[in-house]
Structure 1
Amino acid sequence: MSRRRIQVFDTTLRDGEQSPGIALQPHEKAEVAMQLERLGVD
C-alpha cells in the first residue's frame, strides 16, 4: 500500500474568530493549536 501525504490548511485561529458570535478564550486558542500540532498540521 502506498503512502499519500495529505495537506491540511486550517484557518480556525485566524478566520474562526471573525465569525459573528465567536470569541475564543486564550486557553481555547492554545488547546486548538496544541491539537493541530499533535495531528501534524503545520
Structure 2
Amino acid sequence: MENTEFDRDKIVNYWLDSSDDDFDTMMAMFESNLHSRVFSKMD
C-alpha cells in the first residue's frame, strides 16, 4: 500500500534547496494539495 501522506522530507529538502521564488511555488502547491484534500473529504 502506497503512502498517500504528503512527503514532509521531500518538502523540507526542497525548501532547503530552493530559492525564494521556488518557495512561493512550493507554498502554492502545498496549499493547493491541502485544499483539495479538505474539499474531497467534505464530499
TM-score scaled by length of structure 1? 0.40
Specify which structure has the bigger relative contact order, considering alpha-carbon pairs within 8 angstroms and separated by 6 or more residues.
1
TM-score scaled by length of structure 2? 0.40
**Larger Rg belongs to:** 1
Name whichever structure is richer in helix by fraction: 2
